[in-house]
Structure 1
Amino acid sequence: MEADEVTIREQNFHSQVREYTICFLLFAVLYIVSYFIITRYKRKADEQEDEDAIVNRISLFLSTFTLAVSAGAVLLLPFSIISNEILLSFPQNYYIQWLNGSLIHGLWNLASLFSNLCLFVLMPFAFFFLESEGFAGLKKILEDLDEQMYIITLEEEAIQRKLNGVSSTVEYQTVELERELEKVKSKKTNLERRKKASAWERNLVYPAVMILLLIWTSFSVLLVALNILYLLVDETAMPKGSGGPGIGNASLSTFGFVGAALEIILIFYLMVSSVVGFYSLRFFENFTPRKDDTTMTKIIGNCVSILVLSSALPVMSRTLGITRFDLLGDFGRFNWLGNFYIVLSYNLLFAIMTTLCLVRKFTSAVREELLKALGLDKLHLSNNPRDSETKPSANGHQKTL
């Protein structure tokens, strides 16, 4: 009996070490990828060699850690779905013994823990640490206030002399012209990019991408509509308390691997559409990161935004019925997941808003792209009767028939 107990303890110990090693390796890969992504957008001018460099490095490492956690949260549900199908197809395979329910539960718990840690501790610390200029800020507080007041007074006088020498009207016009110039440069860059696109890309790739987006959006609306019907007739469709069969015991999709692959594609599509929609909001247009020209403050803000979106992805996917995989760890402990009216309202809101988007914007964009690809855009096909009543004349003015 004692030998059996020792053997069991050894097996548990080796299993825990193996799980910790796998989690560390997965996170290390995500951290390295996140580091290269952030350094690609980080402003190069911030890489000074003075005492503030330590502050920037600390903020950079914390932001990289947060982005890696966000990537892990995005991959959490797809990894769990594909792991369930692999365990179901190869239950006795020696080479996949490391892929088990304990590892999946551990990943969900770590993702929940690190998400809360980054959102409520690390990112606020990185922001205030950067704004207060880190350790240098503490030294500056201890400096002589009279000396600081003298320097500030000199700077104020210098700025005042500059303002007195420049007319306010000219300065306003200069600012406006600079803004207009930036807009023109941005439009010119987009036009040059479109001009360099080959005929194959314009006539085949772009319309194909638009059609794929239309298909995936329509398919997601269809799944949500079916989920609404399930909610009305079956209590197990609720995202909380469904009590699934467990990992590796039964397939969660009717079509097996094919259905699991479709679910994973839809989950990634939801994440991409959420990020694109977030940065498309007028309030966050200037928040979009730019290559080699993004300050650390903006990087911290972007990491927090992506963390919130990625952490909500598993809950959103399960609530909308995109997947039947049970939410594990703290992700499935939200009380509102068991409220029928909240879940039903969320599904109805998603279905209605997405359908309106398809009808009013997306389908018109696809129609225009298809007409351009087929060369029918020159026929001036339009549903507006006023468009057919006006034609441009040779001198550029419009004439009414």
Structure 2
Amino acid sequence: MQEEEEEEEVTDLKLQLFHNTVREHIIFLLLIILLYFSSYVVVSRFRRRDRDDLYSNDEDEVLVYRISFWLCTFTLAVAEGAAMLLPVSIASNEVLLLYPNSYYVKWLNSSLIQGLWNHVFLFSNLSLFIFLPFVYLFSESTGFVGHKKGILARVYETFTVFILMAIIVLVLTAVLSAMFGIEKFQFFWFLNLGSVHLPFLYSCVSFLGVMLMLICTPVGFVRLFGVVNQVLVRPLLLRDVNEEFSVFYMEEASVKRKLAHIELHNVSISDATNATNRLINGNGIAHSYLPQPLLQHSLAHLYQRKTLAAGNVDEQQQMLNERLRELYRERKELDKLRKSSTFQRTFVYPLAMLLLLFCTAVTTLLVVQNTLELLIGIKALPLSTRQFTLGISSLSKLGPVGAGLEVCLIFYLGATSVVGFYSMPFMSNVRPKRRQTSLPQLMLNCAFMLVLSSALPLLSRIIGITNFDLLGDFGAIEWLGNFQIVLLYNLIFGTTTALCLANKFTATVRRELRARLTALF
């Protein structure tokens, strides 16, 4: 009897483990489908529409374009998943604390969250080092010389070039690993591809992503205020919008009348000139009936008048066209103010600005606190050293409210890093535009988004936004355990953020003081 009970318990455990595994894979599949659909909507919004029409007669080009488009969409879906890793994990921990015995949240456990981190890490490696390079080489390939043209020839060329590039990258990775003392060079070093070389290569890419966020995130703090200022309608303080709109409308009508008068004047001068030329050159009539001195004087006067009039008219017409464009922009802004509701002008804009100020101030204070705790020795380094279990204790001193604030700050950091990244001067040619982005630009932007989103959990953990451990291979990145790198990063991040904000809010005052001093001296 006892043996039968033990066998039943073992069978029940196996069945439970099987059901848990199936449930986790179903959840992962549903999440991938949801993320892929959202990223498909985003990529479709930006991709150039004339590609299918351009290659409509070539089936191979259409197939290559579709495969490239699908893999770019998958890469963006992985980037979205990487950005949501830390917020979802923090929220799951708080949900399990609030409802520990609830039937509806039993599927939410440590194994599910751990598997989510592992899957995102795996797909991030595949997208960065396999899918995107393969897609780029595949879209640029034409097939080897002497082979029959077709999709198979392009596949052979792509695989050949990709394998050569992979060998070069792996050799460089092995050399760097030996230089940093991570692994001693051995004869069968290539067998450690999944356990050593790819994680080391990903750690290098994540380090570059964190360094990139060190530059673009403080810029994004400042730039986000300008974006909100452009998108939302500012409150009307002692302004009569209807009166201003009427003034701009009348001035715009006056400028249009002046332009019409100039065009009519140009037409009359052209007609007079053509008539004079016909009179002078027509069958010698002018030469026979007009005196020669009077004819020369009239021609010279007409030429001078035409030259001066043309120069002044062109300059005046250019100034009026520029003023007309300015009036159109200002009238459009005023029209937007007129159509906006009182609630939007009075509450939404101030509330958005206050939220931005609050999030920026809290982030800066957390960075300062984290720096001081690192110097004193209270705070541990972000390198994960233990296995975390969900639902045991809250990682925030404020409980669910603090955890919600951490989630909001992580999303805020992601938004500021993206805004600051695309505000950089070198991104002007790469920045995606609606329905005008080519396939190579889509690949490059998807790669940038994946690098930034993969670095977001590392950034949040380094600057002390949350104490949640980085799970899976994210927490095993070696440089996260370097005290000098983490401390220096916090110091630079806090200093650059404070300087950018001070420059933003004191720029107007400094310009006014400079103008007053210049006028005084």
TM-score range with shorter-chain normalisation? 0.7 to 0.9
Tell me what 1:65 maps to: 74
Q: Identify if the C-alpha distance between structure 1 residues 140 and 22 changes in structure 2 by more than 3 Å, giving closer, same or farther.
A: same
Of 497, 504, 509, which aligns to 1:354? 497
Partner SS state of residue 112, structure 2: helix
Tell me what 1:115 maps to: 124
Tell me what 2:49 maps to: 44
Between the two proteins, what is the percent identity of the paired residues?
45
Q: Identify if the C-alpha distance between structure 1 residues 83 and 138 changes in structure 2 by more than 3 Å, giving closer, same or farther.
A: same
Cα distance in 1 for partners of 2:501, 2:325 equals: 28
After superposition, give the CA deviation of every residue in 1:96-154 in whole Å (9 maximum; x if it has no partner): 1100000000000001110011001100111111122xxxx22876479xxxxxxxxxx
Q: Identify if the C-alpha distance between structure 1 residues 245 and 186 changes in structure 2 by more than 3 Å, giving closer, same or farther.
A: farther
Please show how residues 266-305 of structure 1 align to structure 2 within 5 Å.
266-305=409-448
Segment of structure 1 superposing worse, 201-210 or 248-257: 201-210
Q: Identify if the C-alpha distance between structure 1 residues 284 and 389 changes in structure 2 by more than 3 Å, giving closer, same or farther.
A: closer
Alpha-carbon RMSD across the aligned residues, in angstroms, is: 2.9
| CA-CA distance at 1:245 after TM superposition | 5.5
What amino acid is the match of 2:112? Answer: L
| CA-CA distance at 1:337 after TM superposition | 1.1
Please show how residues 2-41 of structure 1 align to structure 2 within 5 Å.
2-41=7-46
What amino acid is the match of 2:64? Answer: V
Of 368, 380, 401, which aligns to 1:237? 380
| CA-CA distance at 1:193 after TM superposition | 6.0
Cα distance in 2 for partners of 1:194, 1:306 equals: 32
Q: Identify if the C-alpha distance between structure 1 residues 26 and 258 changes in structure 2 by more than 3 Å, giving closer, same or farther.
A: same
Tell me what 1:85 maps to: 94
Larger radius of gyration: 2
Q: Identify if the C-alpha distance between structure 1 residues 41 and 196 changes in structure 2 by more than 3 Å, giving closer, same or farther.
A: farther
Cα distance in 2 for partners of 1:193, 1:127 equals: 42
What amino acid is the match of 2:140? Answer: E
Tell me what 2:407 maps to: 264
What amino acid is the match of 1:127? Answer: Y
What amino acid is the match of 2:469? Answer: D
2:406–2:466 CA contact under 8 A, matched in 1: yes
What amino acid is the match of 1:246? Answer: T
Segment of structure 1 superposing worse, 57-66 or 334-343: 334-343
Of 52, 57, 65, which aligns to 1:56? 65
| CA-CA distance at 1:387 after TM superposition | 4.2
What amino acid is the match of 2:401? Answer: V
Cα distance in 2 for partners of 1:285, 1:19 equals: 42
Cα distance in 2 for partners of 1:229, 1:250 equals: 25
1:227–1:237 CA contact under 8 A, matched in 2: no
What amino acid is the match of 2:337? Answer: S
Please show how residues 308-323 of structure 1 align to structure 2 within 5 Å.
308-323=451-466
Q: Identify if the C-alpha distance between structure 1 residues 258 and 32 changes in structure 2 by more than 3 Å, giving closer, same or farther.
A: same
Q: Identify if the C-alpha distance between structure 1 residues 207 and 13 changes in structure 2 by more than 3 Å, giving closer, same or farther.
A: same
| CA-CA distance at 1:338 after TM superposition | 1.1
Partner SS state of residue 287, structure 1: coil
2:80–2:453 CA contact under 8 A, matched in 1: yes
2:72–2:132 CA contact under 8 A, matched in 1: yes
TM-score by length of 2: 0.60
Tell me what 1:127 maps to: 136
2:79–2:454 CA contact under 8 A, matched in 1: yes
TM-score by length of 1: 0.77
Cα distance in 2 for partners of 1:72, 1:317 equals: 16
1:236–1:242 CA contact under 8 A, matched in 2: no
What amino acid is the match of 2:18? Answer: F
**Corresponding position: 1:197 with 2:336:** yes
| CA-CA distance at 1:246 after TM superposition | 2.6
Please show how residues 146-161 of structure 1 align to structure 2 within 5 Å.
none
Partner SS state of residue 91, structure 1: coil
Segment of structure 1 superposing worse, 346-355 or 40-49: 40-49
Tell me what 1:396 maps to: none
1:47–1:53 CA contact under 8 A, matched in 2: yes
After superposition, give the CA deviation of every residue in 1:171-211 in whole Å (9 maximum; x if it has no partner): xxxxxxxxxxxx99999997676444326556654444333
Q: Identify if the C-alpha distance between structure 1 residues 217 and 286 changes in structure 2 by more than 3 Å, giving closer, same or farther.
A: same
Cα distance in 2 for partners of 1:314, 1:307 equals: 12
Q: Identify if the C-alpha distance between structure 1 residues 32 and 198 changes in structure 2 by more than 3 Å, giving closer, same or farther.
A: same
Of 468, 472, 475, which aligns to 1:329? 472
1:59–1:130 CA contact under 8 A, matched in 2: yes
2:430–2:441 CA contact under 8 A, matched in 1: yes
Partner SS state of residue 47, structure 1: helix
Q: Identify if the C-alpha distance between structure 1 residues 263 and 92 changes in structure 2 by more than 3 Å, giving closer, same or farther.
A: same
Q: Identify if the C-alpha distance between structure 1 residues 298 and 2 changes in structure 2 by more than 3 Å, giving closer, same or farther.
A: same
| CA-CA distance at 1:236 after TM superposition | 4.5
Of 513, 516, 519, which aligns to 1:384? 513
1:263–1:323 CA contact under 8 A, matched in 2: yes
What amino acid is the match of 1:105? Answer: Q
2:388–2:469 CA contact under 8 A, matched in 1: no
Partner SS state of residue 434, structure 2: coil
